[in-house]
Amino acid sequence: MTVHPQTRFTLPDALNAAEPPEARGLARDQVKLLVAEGSAITHTRFDRLGDHLRPGDLLLVNTSGTLPAAVDGSWITGSGVAPVVVHFSTALDDGTWVVELRNGDLPLFGGGSGDRVELPEGVLTLLAPYQPDQNRLWRAQPPVADVVSYLRRHGRPISYKYVGQRWPLALYQTVFAREPGSAEMPSAARPFSFELVSQLAASGVLIAPILLHCGVSSQESHEPPLPERYDVPEHTARLVNWVKANGGRVIAVGTTAVRAIESAARADGSVAAAGGWTDLVMGPDHPARVVDGLVTGMHAPEASHLLLLESVVGGEVVQRAYDAALERNYLWHEFGDVSLLLPE
């Protein structure tokens, strides 16, 4: 049964961020920051994030790097050849990949097992739908074994119609990116600059790494998040437990960091090192056990991410934050503005 978020709003097209903040004359840490702490709303700027954190708080940051995961190709079908864009979503354990075929900004449905897509350096072969009863995402055999290097040669960052032009991969990376693997940027961390990280560390805010490789988004059909590869290292697990035991707050930077750390949570709210694949879906029947708040971008109406936000701070806080963001013309999506959500 599909569960829909409590948060309801209509997003005007004018609030889709069409370009990086750098193109708007801003440094990456100068985007707007909305702080929702219970019933209180504060409007500020992201480089003042430290004003709303305490010494001993812990920020969990995703170290996944963004892949240039979109490659142009030609889809060979029984009725002819059609131009397509292949979005490489997720590397599977057997060397195959989850992919999505798109025509412009629209996903293509109706492919068949054995269909081939001509790409630079070879052919990608569709093997089977990735999930039963759907044919938007496919498990496919890529044209080469080392897909990450292949994408560096032939790919570009995934983007959608609200982004007006193509931008270089560097603008889709966060300062924490270490291991390439995300089809789409873990964008909540994008506004962090090296200067801001230094300021936070000097003020006593702790920062610990976590890893979750993001697949392609599912906004077209409001699907729940698909399984994703994650890693919670031992030193991060120990630090989370220490912070919780000593009265600090664990604040995840992004829904990806929430999903990763909550996948490593025990029933009592403590954390153990863990990794592999997570199929955790946060929501009313699975509230957050570890995370006390989160830094997050602005998510589309009905997106499953909203359920995750509600599982951390409650639906009333999220609704209040989104109403305030709309009133003040915050910008949405990966190049947009950011919120810090905290419960009462």
Quote the pLDDT of residue 308. 95
Predicted local confidence at residue 302, as pLDDT: 85
Give, as one character, the DSSP assignment of residue 28. G
The confidence score (pLDDT) of residue 3 equals: 78
Q: What does the pLDDT read at residue 192?
A: 98
Q: Which two tokens stand for residue 81?
A: 């050849």
C-alpha 343/C-alpha 37 separation (Å) is 6
pLDDT of residue 221: 52
Show pLDDT as tens, one digit a residue, over the chain (344 residues). 567 899 999 999 999 999 999 999 999 999 999 999 989 999 999 999 999 999 999 999 999 999 999 999 999 877 778 999 999 999 999 999 999 999 977 888 877 899 999 999 999 999 999 988 788 999 999 999 999 999 999 999 999 999 989 999 999 999 999 999 999 999 999 999 999 999 999 999 999 999 999 999 764 556 778 999 999 999 999 999 999 999 999 999 999 999 999 999 999 999 999 999 999 999 888 999 999 999 999 999 988 899 999 999 999 999 999 999 999 999 999 999 999 999 97
Helix, strand and coil percent figures for the chain, each rounded to 5 = 25, 30, 45
DSSP string of 104-142?
Answer: TTEE-----TT-EEEETTEEEEEEEESSTT--SEEEEE-
Give residue 47's Cα distance to chain centre: 21
Sheet containing strand 206-212, strands side by side:
40-45, 32-37, 338-342, 293-297, 250-253, 58-62, 206-212, 228-232, 274-278
